Chains A and B, each alone.
Chain A
Amino acid sequence: QVSVINTVDTSHEDMIHDAQMDYYGTRLATCSSDRSVKIFDVRNGGQILIADLRGHEGPVWQVAWAHPMYGNILASCSYDRKVIIWKEENGTWEKTYEYTGHDSSVNSVCWAPHDYGLILACGSSDGAISLLSYTGDGQWEVKKISNAHTIGCNAVSWAPAVVPGSLIEQPSGQKPNYIKRFASGGCDNLVKIWKEEDGQWKEEQKLEAHSDWVRDVAWAPSIGLPTSTIASCSQDGRVFIWTYDDASGNSWSPKLLHKFNDVVWHVSWSITANILAVSGGDNKVTLWKESVDGLWACISDVNKGQGGVSAVTEGQQNEQ
């Protein structure tokens, strides 16, 4: 059974495209076709508007919170081809950086694991992916991967930070040698994995399985296993779970989660990566969990509807 513990009236004047909780669940950022980004304090069931950020000239597609160790920082991307990074300074939210290096709509933004520093990946309809890295003193360095996906890039998602080799504590000040990777999904029906080598970003893998535009990709958080997992969803109604097993060779193997009857727009992992949420065109959000025998099972649907909450039994839990 679920309860709505808070209904936030965002007062957006147009469609909301994304809403994200911050790290602790105390603040909420929303963005809309009305070109604004709003931030609310939602502690204890309340909803206090903290900021109404204007700066975009078109619908804002996504927002992303940076790790709290860098302060209160939010990134937004829009149809107006801009990526704006907002920061809270002295109690007020302001634009701290604006990136205009794309030639068309920027569809997705995603912050890298905090271990790498403050780095933002942006995917655009111009087919390129930019990486904005904060170098200090209000300065940002830009690296661009042109033609990452033909026609356009719809989604970007970072791999969790894992230090290769030994895990002994590094002496202070020394950065461990992380291998940075992220996944992207595009209009070329592909999911691509990118890896940084010698300061340059290279395409490491092409994952082919979808027959239409890839709408979203989500790299699962790590629970310490030597495997990596990525979820991808597409215009073709399919959601794939890709697994990379360090032990069994160098490739990613896809498993079809489900074929939906409509476009699947959005996939996201819970914090401990044991549940995948899938938002589809059929007006539902479904939650999936992997069972004992490696099959994925739907544990519940979240529907919109009228009236009260229907009594619900906990979904099939997969213990034997």
Chain B
Amino acid sequence: PSQVVPGADPSARQLCFAWGPAEVLVCETLFGHRGGSPSRGEGGPGRALLPGTLTACVAGTGEGGPSSSRLFVVRKDQDIYIQTLRKLFNESHGIFIGLQRSEEELAGKSRKAQLVQVSKNYRSVIRACMEDMHQAAILTRDPALHSQYSTQVSILSAMELIWNLCEILFVEAAAAGPLLLRLLDWVRLHVCDVDNMVHEVLSSENPSKHELFWNVVDVFVLQGRMDEARHLLSKEASANPTSVNMYKILDDLMKKMPVPSLGNTQTLTEMELKWQHWHEECQRYLQDGTFASNSHMESICKILLGDEDAILEKKDLMTTWYHFLVTRLLYSHPTVKPMELRFYAQACMDLFLGGESSPEPLDTILMAAFEFEMHQVIKECSIALSNWWFVAHLTDLLDHCKLLQSHNLYFGSNMREFLLLEYASGLFSHHSLWQLGVDYFDHCPEYGRVYLELHIERIPLNTEQKALKVLRICEQRQMHEQVRSICKIMAMKALRNNRLGSALSWSIRAKDAAFATLISDRFLKDYCESGCFSDLDLIDNLGPSMLLSDRLTFLGKYREFHRLYGEKRFSEAAKLLLMLMTAHIAPCSFWMTLLTDALPLLEQKEVIFSAEQTYELMRCLEDLTAGKSDKQKFQDDDVETMKVEMLRLALARNLARVIVKEGTLEGS
């Protein structure tokens, strides 16, 4: 199967290919012109290909220039991008989750009823979508859109047709008897080509005079709608007194026709017996020539007798081979058993198509269903449909019905999981539907988690909100690596945009000590330059996360110092300031700043630093200046030297005052 990239230059170029997270990149290139080629009399790699040679090569072929510089971003036509199908994905997601969580303890009949209900729910979602799509098709003025919507409607309709059949045969597993009734319902629901005609005739003033009258009667008979057929026929009878007798007999036959019952009122054998009698009665009337004078009624009688040719004659009213199949079964084998269907199905399809046309994909799928080849149904649907939605959900349901043998695929997973993984992976390329995908991965026991890990990393974290959403999902599932990775990415992004506070809180969340140190340094640098802190709220409320990195601890404590000072709690501030240096929490590079911060405290009227503290400060200052080499001291500008001098002076003065204070006895 070939996929053609439109517009690519059909000259002798090759295709370069790269995977994107959702799309793929395809661009024209010529691989031969890189990395050299194995020696075929040429020099070594790259050496033989001089820049001149390359250019000449391209120019020589008359190409190069704009046509060689294009790149195609290609994406599989996924239904997830169709707006009107959004409801399908969202609501089926709810049904899926409900099914996974449903009571497995329910056994037998109640479990089956539950599963049938789930199946019906899925189908009603499909139909609702079909309705929306249909409305959209009617309302649009754009012919291209109209055509697209109409195509979607037919695809959805086909999906519902197939699903409905699967529900009857597999989920409900209707037994002989009810099976036929279900199939009749199925046909009535889905073969709607004749609905317009029926409506036209019924709503006309004089239905029995309508040229299509008998067609409609035939339709009713073919679909086993006996009451409606009889009702119409009664109109004909009253209009045509000559055929009253014929009519009464036919009406009677139609009234008496035995049908399988849904309840337990009769056994299959009883029904078969009754049916045999009735069949013989019809036979007698036909052979007696009762209906000879009215070809329409005669044909109806033949149909009642299950006459193949008579039924086939009405091909156009049935429109499909499966309608033909069900009609035939109704009038020849109403107690057909599920396993017998396959024989009738194949024969009917052959007869109906009659070698004029070949089966279409839909026909193949339905046939596979009649043959109870579930795997074949799934396989054919995967091929025919453009997305995984249908097969993923249907297979999951069938798996819950315990109908699928586990087929180990190469990674050891079964088919249900394989399809769900494909479906969910597809959802991840959509900017909002990816959230649904998460739940699907959760219910894939073998590879769901790792697929989620690989996909969730690729979700663009455009906004903080989205990042938080993704984070929450990862945290709920203990995906620690991904949490860390996302936090780091967000921290880096914030830093690039100079949002230091945001960067810091992300790196704390990522428990990234190195990054926290980096950002703390930035804060401190900004403080030195501007004299104030940004993001005070954040720094003030660091709490225990302050301990993530030494620099961060310093930042937090330093800010605390400023706060204490601001609140005029000077002695506490002083103690903290000193501690920052003596406990080596402050980096050496910052000591000068800290000592300078001590100045106002030293200059206060009240003595704040004790003698011991003052000695400590002095020592710090000396350590700092001693640490500098002579060369550095030489390079220090006047401001630096002046600062040091001022500090020495202030410290000495403080010492003097405090010695006196401490030496003075209280009260004296």
* Chain A residues within 8 Å of B, Cβ to Cβ: 1-21, 23-26, 28, 30, 32-33, 42, 58-59, 61, 67-72, 79, 88-90, 104-105, 107, 114-115, 125, 151-152, 154, 169, 172-173, 187, 212-213, 215, 221-225, 235, 263, 265-266, 268-272, 277, 279-281, 283-285, 290-292, 294, 299-310, 312-320
Task: Point out which of B10, B26, B46, B496 has the most chain A C-beta atoms below 10 A from its C-beta.
Answer: B46
Check A307–B6 contact: CB distance below 8 A: yes
* Contact A105 B460, CB 8 Å, known A2-B74, A271-B21: no
Check A302–B58 contact: CB distance below 8 A: no
Q: Name the B residues within 8 Å of A299 (CB-CB).
A: 1
* Contact A304 B425, CB 8 Å, known A107-B34, A221-B454: no
Closest B residue to A34 using CB positions:
B69
Q: Name the A residues within 8 Å of B493 (CB-CB).
A: 68
Q: Name the B residues within 8 Å of A107 (CB-CB).
A: 34-35, 45
Render B493-531 as a binary contact track against A, CB cut-off 8 A, 1 for contact. 100100000000000000111000000000000000000
Interface stretch of the complex, out of B116-124, B221-229, B382-390 = B382-390
Q: Which of A5, A69, A213 contacts B23 (CB 8 A)?
A: A5
Q: Which of A24, A69, A290 contacts B485 (CB 8 A)?
A: A69
Q: How far is the CA of A225 from the CA of B97 in the complex (A)?
A: 27
Check A9–B66 contact: CB distance below 8 A: yes
Task: Point out which of B28, B69, B447 has the most chain A C-beta atoms below 10 A from its C-beta.
Answer: B69
Task: Point out which of B49, B460, B493 has the most chain A C-beta atoms below 10 A from its C-beta.
Answer: B460
Q: How far is the CA of A104 from the CA of B1 in the complex (A)?
A: 41
Output the least CB separation between B54 and chain A (Å).
6
Task: Point out which of A7, A32, A88, A308 has the most chain B C-beta atoms below 10 A from its C-beta.
Answer: A7
Check B73–A4 contact: CB distance below 8 A: yes
Check B425–A272 contact: CB distance below 8 A: yes
Output the least CB separation between B212 and chain A (Å).
37
Render B24-50 as a binary contact track against A, CB cut-off 8 A, 1 for contact. 111111111111111000001111010
Output the least CB separation between B307 and chain A (Å).
40
Check B8–A304 contact: CB distance below 8 A: yes
Check B3–A19 contact: CB distance below 8 A: no
Check A317–B8 contact: CB distance below 8 A: no
B455 within 8 A of partner (CB): yes
Closest A residue to B14 using CB positions:
A283
B231 within 8 A of partner (CB): no
* Contact A21 B25, CB 8 Å, known A2-B3, A283-B14: yes
Q: How far is the CA of A146 from the CA of B472 in the complex (A)?
A: 46
* Contact A7 B45, CB 8 Å, known A16-B27, A107-B35: no
Q: Which of A8, A69, A114, A291 contacts B73 (CB 8 A)?
A: A8
Check B409–A151 contact: CB distance below 8 A: no
Check A69–B488 contact: CB distance below 8 A: yes
Check A313–B45 contact: CB distance below 8 A: no
Closest 8 pairs (CB-CB, A-B) = A304-B8, A21-B20, A172-B511, A105-B46, A24-B460, A6-B73, A69-B488, A265-B31
Q: How far is the CA of A80 from the CA of B502 in the complex (A)?
A: 41
* Chain B residues within 8 Å of A, Cβ to Cβ: 1-10, 12-38, 44-47, 49, 51, 54-55, 58, 64-66, 68-77, 375, 378-379, 382-386, 407-411, 415, 418-419, 421, 425, 447, 449-451, 454-455, 457-461, 480-481, 485, 488-489, 492-493, 496, 511-513, 548
Q: Name the B residues within 8 Å of A223 (CB-CB).
A: 411, 447, 450-451, 454
Q: How far is the CA of A84 from the CA of B7 in the complex (A)?
A: 33
Check B44–A42 contact: CB distance below 8 A: no
Q: How far is the CA of A223 from the CA of B64 in the complex (A)?
A: 42
Check B46–A104 contact: CB distance below 8 A: yes
Output the least CB separation between A131 and chain B (Å).
20
Closest A residue to B480 using CB positions:
A169
Q: How far is the CA of A307 from the CA of B23 in the complex (A)?
A: 21
Classify the secondary structure of A's interface with B: loop
Q: Which of A33, A59, A268 contacts B17 (CB 8 A)?
A: A268
Q: Which of B5, B382, B419, B511 contacts A304 (CB 8 A)?
A: B5
Check A318–B409 contact: CB distance below 8 A: yes
Check B382–A314 contact: CB distance below 8 A: yes
Check A15–B19 contact: CB distance below 8 A: no
Q: Which of A58, A268, A271, A300 contacts B51 (CB 8 A)?
A: A58
Task: Point out which of B71, B385, B386, B548 has the most chain A C-beta atoms below 10 A from its C-beta.
Answer: B71
Q: Name the B residues within 8 Å of A305 (CB-CB).
A: 4-6, 8, 10
Check A4–B69 contact: CB distance below 8 A: no
* Contact A281 B382, CB 8 Å, known A1-B77, A20-B18: no
Q: Name the B residues within 8 Å of A285 (CB-CB).
A: 15, 17, 26
Q: Name the B residues within 8 Å of A304 (CB-CB).
A: 4-5, 8-10, 13, 15, 26, 28
Q: Which of B5, B28, B492, B513 contacts A70 (CB 8 A)?
A: B492
Q: Name the A residues within 8 Å of B496 (CB-CB).
A: 71-72, 88-90
Check A8–B38 contact: CB distance below 8 A: no
Q: Name the B residues within 8 Å of A320 (CB-CB).
A: 375, 379, 407, 415
Q: Which of A30, A154, A224 contacts B71 (CB 8 A)?
A: A30
Q: How far is the CA of A203 from the CA of B71 in the complex (A)?
A: 38
Q: Which of A18, A105, A173, A307 contacts B45 (CB 8 A)?
A: A105
Q: Name the A residues within 8 Å of B4 (CB-CB).
A: 303-305, 307-310
Closest B residue to A91 using CB positions:
B496
Check B30–A15 contact: CB distance below 8 A: yes
